[in-house]
Amino acid sequence: MEEFNTTVRISGFVLSSLMFQHLNTDADVEGLILGESVGEENCRITDSQIDHIQFEHTINIQKHVPCHNLHRQRRNSRQQMTFMEQVIHRNMRKILSSQELVFMLLTPSQATASGSTHRLEFSAFTWHSSQYINIPISVSNLGNLEQQDYWRVSGTCPSLGESQAVNRHRTKFFCSGDDLKEVGNINNMNDALLGEMQKVCEGVEKSERAVEKLREDITQLKEAIRNQKRNSEKNETQKRPSPDEPNENVLLCSALRTLFPDAPSLQTQTLTVQGFPVLELCCNTNHNIDIPTKLPLILENQHTKRKDTAPRLRKKCLVASYPQRLKRKRKTNDTSELASESGSDTEVEMNGQSRSNSPLF
């Protein structure tokens, strides 16, 4: 659904100047009104309608110039265009390129017989569909205008004197782009601040990227350490002997082999049910153990053992010959000389027997 609305908006001081000009003259007044045309399109969506498009065409009157037609002030007449006014307006529409020409009619009258109170009626007419239609006029002032509408009111047309005065002093306050110098300085300061903020943002971005890269490196290192630890544990489990295979004491095996080289029963770790060693499973492996370095006490024990073997054998021989000599004494009954000698030998042998009574047996 589409709607087209046209409204004429005139400021309060322009309307008051028209009234003042008309009341100060005795005849009718004609002139030219100037302004701008603004078009707006509003689209509204409600619960009852999907879309409601409304075209707002506003004609803002900013200035008036006394001349023939385009606005007319008649005294004591109705709010209706005459035939002459319609013809003049139609001809001007043909001559001028703009088709948004509006005819404004003001009809003042006296409200009282004394003339102390006057009444002014005003209306605007535009050509539409082969006829002139009346369009509403709203007066813009602070009393009956909303704040948003007041913002949309266009400025007045500048006069020649105002333009000359502004051009004479504009270099003191304005820049080349019609902006205030203070505004330009503030804009320059804002640009500098924005540049500094961009530099800081770039630094923060670089630091954040560096932190992200460090985090990725740390994650990769943790993963590598985890994999290395897993591989080392796997290798240890592979190198570790199974629980079925007994662990061999290499140092003990080498020590027994050195001390007792001819005793294979001491070099096996396997026993039968009765507790006897299994000689077939004795250890015949050379473990390459450096005996002087790792087992020095074994060499010292071997050296002392060799020193003690000679006197012990001699004592054994003396003890073994003692019963034979006793038998010889009983059988022979020799002389006292021999008996004394044998008695002395017996004492010596007995003393030797007491000395040779050692823990070797």
Q: DSSP letter string over 248-298?
A: P-HHHHHHHHHH-TT-GGGGB--B-TTS-B-GGGB--------HHHH-HHH
Task: Indicate whether 360 pLDDT > 50.
Answer: no
Sign of CA dihedral 288, 292, 297, 298: positive
Degrees, nearest 5: CA angle 231-232-237: 100
Last residue of a domain, one of 116, 131, 157: 157
Residue type for position 283: C
138 shares a domain with 24 = yes
Last residue of a domain, one of 108, 123, 157: 157
Give the pLDDT confidence score for residue 327 in this predicted structure.
Answer: 46
- Mean pLDDT of the region 67-81: 67
152 shares a domain with 175 = no
**How distant, in Å, are the alpha carbons of 156, 158, 191 from that of 173?**
21, 18, 21
**How distant, in Å, are the alpha carbons of 107, 187, 256, 259, 279 from that of 266?**
145, 103, 7, 10, 9
Q: Is 335 helix (H, G, I), strand (E, B) or coil?
A: coil
Compute the mean pLDDT over every residue in the chain, rounded to the nearest whole number: 72
In a domain, 172, yes or no: yes
DSSP 12: H
143 shares a domain with 26 = yes
In a domain, 246, yes or no: no
178 shares a domain with 59 = no
CA distance 84 to 90: 10
Closest among 107, 99, 3 to 49, alpha carbons compared: 3
Task: Indicate whether 22 pLDDT > 80.
Answer: no
Task: Indicate whether 269 pLDDT > 80.
Answer: no
- Contacts of residue 39, defined as CB under 8 A and 6 or more positions apart, other chains included, come to 55, 56, 57, 58
264 shares a domain with 333 = no
How many domains does the chain fold into?
Answer: 4
- Mean pLDDT of the region 177-190: 79
- Bridge partners for 2 per DSSP: 53
189 shares a domain with 109 = no
Entry pTM: 0.38
143 shares a domain with 37 = yes
306 shares a domain with 264 = no
123 shares a domain with 10 = yes
105 shares a domain with 54 = yes
In a domain, 245, yes or no: no
Give the pLDDT confidence score for residue 213 in this predicted structure.
Answer: 95
Most confident of the ranges 15-29, 157-171, 333-347: 15-29
Last residue of a domain, one of 96, 131, 157: 157
Q: Is 327 helix (H, G, I), strand (E, B) or coil?
A: helix
262 shares a domain with 128 = no
Task: Name the more confident of 271 and 217.
Answer: 217
8 in Cβ contact with 137 (< 8 Å): yes
302 shares a domain with 221 = no
In terms of residue numbers, what domain contains 255? 251-288
Two structure tokens written together for 224: 């590598």
Task: Indicate whether 307 pLDDT > 70.
Answer: no
